Each structure stands twice: as structure tokens, then as C-alpha cells.
Amino acid sequence: MGKTVTEKLIATHLIEGEMIQGREIGIRIDQTLTQDATGTMAYLEFEAIGIPRVQTELSVCYVDHNLIQSDFKNADDHRFLQSVARKFGLYFSPPGNGISHQIHLERFGLPGKTLLGSDSHTPTGGGLGMLAIGAGGLDVAMAMAGRPFYLVMPKIYGVKLTGKLSPWVSARDVLLELLRQLSVKGGVGYIMEYFGPGVAELTVTDRASITNFGAELGATTSVFPSDENTRIFLESQDRAEMWKELTADEDAQYDEIIEIDMSTLEPLIACPSSPDNVVPVREVAGKPVSQVLVGSCSNSSLRDLMVASRTLSDKEVHYDVSFEINPGSRQVLENLIDQGEMMSLVRAGARIHQPGCLGCIGMGQAPSTGTISLRTFPRNFPGRSGTKDDQVYLCSPEVAVATAITGKITDPRDLGEYPSISLPRKYLPGDHRIEPPRPEEEKTEIIRGPNIAPFPAFEAIPESWKGTVLLKVGDNITTDHIMPAGAHILPLRSNIPAISEFVFNSVDENFTNRVKEADSAMIVGGENYGQGSSREHAALAPRYLGVRVKLVKSFARIHKANLINFGILPLTFVDPADYDLIEEAARAEIPDLRKIIAEGGETLSVIINGKSMQARLEVSARHREILLAGSLLNWAQGN
């Protein structure tokens, strides 16, 4: 039987295990990336491992999240990251240089390689034919130390693309349609692989927009083949010699198949407050808007900004709208200027910001109270924008610029003829500010500001566990609910004691005080618990406070891995109906816990207020060792 692109990528990197669905495998990681919001902790963890230099083919340290330097914290972390990169042999991309995923696609991504990133949108690299996976910072630190990355061998969801996108419809609408059909849980346990005649109609920029946004399906990652369009893209980046063909065999088999005829798609939009709350734009057209943002790792390429520029060439932004542009990289910004497209944006009234994530993670650009904000971003979770009770819609650059012109949600087809867009055959590289690795013999001192706290030590799991059900939450709890983002909290990422004060702050403002008073805590949740960002702080900070058990209906992949990495027991209900029987403040107990884990028990009894219910522990043998040790770091130091 023929192989899919995914199977070929895994087979060439397999180190441990067998490619049997549901079994844990270990794969070799060729490249890693970190960004500053997760990277500071990842490098503290790498230091703790004790390896003198990164062991990957290539690792890059990006600064793209915490760009607002309202006090010393972010600036100090940036110097720390630069000094770490110099000491351990990484490339360093400084603040203002751009978003990690956009730059990595332009300057470092290679077909046929594996990439592990401490950011959930790392699958962007799948647009180049990479196996690019988001993970927690500690997993990335282990990969930089030369350790395998472990994951459960996923199923492969084939997305057959046919037809061709119509004018004013973009690649983003492909993924919005998938979210409409499959939901934010539809990709859990799968790698999404794109195939079919429609693939040839999509540029690498289009594909990267799809694989990036595909993270919102809950998928492990998304993959496109490497074909002639991939070669054209690498040639435009003056990297043609790095191209290799990588396609699925004709008789390749997929576990599931969904077909999207791109010629039938129309402009779509995700309504508040979930990426899968998708409807045609025409159904919500006419709603007044106060803010429109084009940018983020999903849609900040030169192509996306040229759509805005060309559309605005003879028009201007509505006076009621703040239209803001976040370029994806210095390369995008340089080529936008070189192509003569910047003047259209400036004259039309756009606000041009530095290349970076910015409003996507609440680092500025918060919308005004009670108004609608349209964004080309990948997420619109409640309050993520920085404004309480926000109304954030997710859309394509085409919908965004049409709305900026009219001041109300607008189907861009109403504007008439689609603008002609021609991308350069050769891009200005825009990479002159990326600092290459320093020689190993060069001695570098790591610079630590006062906000950088030592990595906390964690004790092993107890023989039996007793504690309190401190919080009960519902379905689709995101890592933003658990560990909020935003300009006030993000600068504390390198200081676990400080950032722990904000755990579950948007759900229960008194949570931190209550957990400090408890002996040990359990969190109870519903379906898809921990969806969204890869931020390991959503596991690390609760563990620091004393959370040792999470009992839910189902977990999102990255968050479950992060819980295990920090010694929090990830349990699921055998009978989901038991969820309804649990109340906050109940006393809970798990007898003989350590023995059950050590002996490979897959079900165990959780006693809550004297009533016993069954829970499932679905982990690998390696995971059991990590849980017994109390954390992945404890386990690694003993192995």
C-alpha cells in the first residue's frame, strides 16, 4: 500500500516505536523554534538539562510576542534570549523582525524536515512539506538537547481539494469551511493532509495560511506536499537548491476523507467567540465595525498586505474604523515598500505597526467597549483581545479591507473587480537582522534581569492523593482561560511565582487565593479541555500552586502533554455522566495512586465526597515514569 506524505515524513524520522495508530512513537527533530512568550521558560529548562549546545540541525530563537516595552520586563527578557542564543548556538531574530512562523517559512523551512516549536501555530511549516508540530517549551528544550519528540501515532485525515478559488475568496476560506464542518475538535487525534488537483492552485503562501489556521481544528499538524509550487516559492527566496519533491503515492490511504470544492466557496467569517462559529459573510453583513486588523501568523504575508494595498489604491478607510496593519516580517515590510505598495496604505488611513504578533495575543490593539473588531487572526476566544466582553470576528484580508472601507461588515464581492496582484519573482530577503549562531568556542555570559526567576522544583507523585475539587468548568476551556495572555500578564512568563497569581483569573478571580489555602487541588472539566495555545504555563503555573489532578471529559493534545510534563495527573471520565455529580469544594481522594501508575493501571477509582467513580489514565509507559518522577525534567535528569 502506498504512503501518504505524513507517513513518509514520520518514517524517515522514526527513532522509537512503530507506526501503529494509537501507539507512542519517538521522532527525530531537525529544527526547533521558540518565541519569547514561551521561549524564556524553554531556555531555563534547557539550561537545567545541562547540555552545552543545541543538538539540532538548526534552532531559532524569535522575539515576536512581548514587543511592548512598557517597563523593564520585556526588554530584559529580550537580552536574556539573545545571550542564550549566543551561548547555546541558535539563530536569534530580534524584536521588530517579525513573527516566527512567517520568518521561518521564508528563511529556514525545508521540505522533508521536522520542526518542533513552542507555539501552537508551528504547523505553518506544513505549507512547505514539513512535519511541523507545536509543543510545550519543555518538549522543545528536550528536542534541542537531542532527545526524541514523543507523540501518539495519529490518524491521517485526507482533505481533497478540487476546483479553484474565485475572486475575493482566499485560502483562509478553505480552513474556515473546514472549521464550519468539523469544529474546533474535528482534528483531534489527526494530522490533516491536503491532496487532490486543487492543491496545484495554491501557492506556498496560501498553503501556509491553511496549515497555520489548521491548528484551530485541534489537529496534531497539517501537511501539504512539496511540488512545483514549493520549488517556485523557494526559488523566490533564493533557496531553490533546498527544494525536494515530496508527494503522496497514488494508492495512499487516508483514515478519513473530506472534499472541498474551492470553486464553490464564498467569503466566510467566524463570529464571536470561537473560530468554528462560521457563517457566510453575507449573513452578518451590515454590522457596524470600529476596528479592522490585518496581520498575525495566519495572514500577514506580502500577498495579504498587497490585497489591502491594491484594494485601497483609489479608496480610503472609513472614518469610524481604525484600520491597522501588522506585517509578518521585515521581509514583508521591505518588499511592500519596494513594490510601491506602502503609500496606498498610508494615504488611505491605515495604521502601520511593527512586524509582530501584537493584538493577536492581547499585546496592544484592544478594541473599544461594546464594538465589533474584525481580524485576520486565528483566534477569537473571549477576552483574548484585551477587552472584556469583546466582539471579535475572524476573516480573510479581502473581507477585512472591504469592511475597513465601508465601516460595516461587507462581502468583498460588493466592491466589484478583484485587484490584480503580482508577487515578486525574487524577494528582498529581509533577514539581515537575524543573528547567526556564534562559534562554540566563544564564551558568552547569560544576562538575567530581575524578572527571571529560577525554574521551580517539583516533588514526586504521592503514594495516595487527597485534595479538594477547587474548580469545575465546562467544555472547550482554552489555555487563555487557564493562563491569560495580554500586555499585563505576558511579561511575567519567565517568573512562575509572579504569573501564577493570574491562573484562572478570567474564570474565578479568587482562584489563586483559594488554591493557596487548599492542601492539594483537583480541576474538573468538560470536553476539549486545554484547547488553543501551546503555553506550558497553563500547566506549570497551576502545578506550582498545588494542582495535582485534572479530571475531564477529554483533553486537547498539547495541554495534556504539558500536564504530564509537570506531573499533573490527566484523568478522563469513564462515564461522562459522572461529571454532573461533582460539585466544587468536594473532597477528593485517589487511593494507591503511585502503585496504580507504576503497575500500568488504566482505570482507577476517584472517591469524591465518599462516592467512588471510575477514571481513565490514558498514557504511555514513558508518561508513567514521568508522572512518578514528578516532572519530565526530574525524569530526564535521572535518565
Q: What is the pLDDT of residue 533?
A: 86
Give catalytic status of residue 353 as yes or no.
no
Query: Closest by alpha carbon to 200, among 181, 179, 226?
Result: 226
Q: What is the pLDDT of residue 536?
A: 92
The average pLDDT across 337-352 equals 96
Cell numbers of 284, please? 452578518
**pLDDT tens string 171-229:** 999 999 999 999 999 999 999 999 999 999 999 999 999 999 999 999 999 999 999 99
Beta carbons within 10 angstroms of residue 111's beta carbon: 22
Cell numbers of 339, please? 513594490
In the 8-state DSSP scheme, what is residue 23?
S
pLDDT at 393 over 80: yes
The average pLDDT across 63-86 equals 94
pLDDT at 638 over 80: no
Write the DSSP assignment of 309-320 as a string of letters: HHHTTT----TT
The average pLDDT across 128-156 equals 96
Give catalytic status of residue 578 as yes or no.
no
Query: Closest by alpha carbon to 350, among 304, 384, 382, 312?
Result: 312
CA distances to 82, 120, 473, 630, 632 from 46, in Å: 15, 19, 33, 18, 12
Give catalytic status of residue 231 as yes or no.
no
pLDDT at 114 over 80: yes
Burial 165-188 (b: 16+ CB within 10 A, else e): bbebbbbbbbbbbbbbebbbbbbb
pLDDT at 457 over 90: no
Q: Which of 147, 172, 375, 379 is catalytic?
A: 379
Confidence of residue 493 (pLDDT cuts 50, 70, 90): confident
Confidence of residue 490 (pLDDT cuts 50, 70, 90): confident
The average pLDDT across 309-322 equals 97
CA 519, CA 369: separation in Å to the nearest integer? Answer: 40
Q: Which of 64, 76, 139, 411 is catalytic?
A: 64
In the 8-state DSSP scheme, what is residue 65?
S
Q: Which of 207, 535, 559, 624 is catalytic?
A: 535
Confidence of residue 261 (pLDDT cuts 50, 70, 90): very high
CA 3, CA 638: separation in Å to the nearest integer? Answer: 38
Q: What is the pLDDT of residue 570?
A: 97
Give catalytic status of residue 533 as yes or no.
yes
Bridge-based pairing of strands 268-270 and 322-325 is: unpaired
Mean pLDDT, the chain, rounded, equals 95
Q: Which of 13, 65, 107, 543 is catalytic?
A: 65
The average pLDDT across 271-281 equals 97
pLDDT at 621 over 90: yes
- What domains lie within the chain, and their CATH numbers? 5-264 (3.30.499.10), 268-414 (3.30.499.10), 465-637 (3.20.19.10)
Cell numbers of 500, please? 501564577
**pLDDT tens string 529-542:** 999 888 899 999 99
Q: Which of 309, 329, 373, 533 is catalytic?
A: 533
Give the lowest-confidence range in 81-95, 266-280, 500-514: 500-514
pLDDT at 151 over 90: yes
Do 199 and 230 touch, CB atoms closer than 8 A? Answer: no
Give catalytic status of residue 65 as yes or no.
yes
| pTM of the predicted protein model | 0.94
The average pLDDT across 223-239 equals 98
Q: Which of 36, 119, 390, 411 is catalytic?
A: 119
Q: What is the distance of C-alpha 303 from the center of its chain?
A: 22
pLDDT at 639 over 80: no
The average pLDDT across 401-408 equals 98
Confidence of residue 506 (pLDDT cuts 50, 70, 90): confident
Give catalytic status of residue 64 as yes or no.
yes
Cell numbers of 174, please? 478553505
| Residue bearing cell 497553563 | 538
Do 630 and 567 touch, CB atoms closer than 8 A? Answer: yes
The average pLDDT across 545-551 equals 96
The average pLDDT across 508-528 equals 93
Query: Closest by alpha carbon to 598, among 576, 619, 577, 574?
Result: 619
Confidence of residue 296 (pLDDT cuts 50, 70, 90): very high
Confidence of residue 523 (pLDDT cuts 50, 70, 90): very high
The average pLDDT across 282-302 equals 97
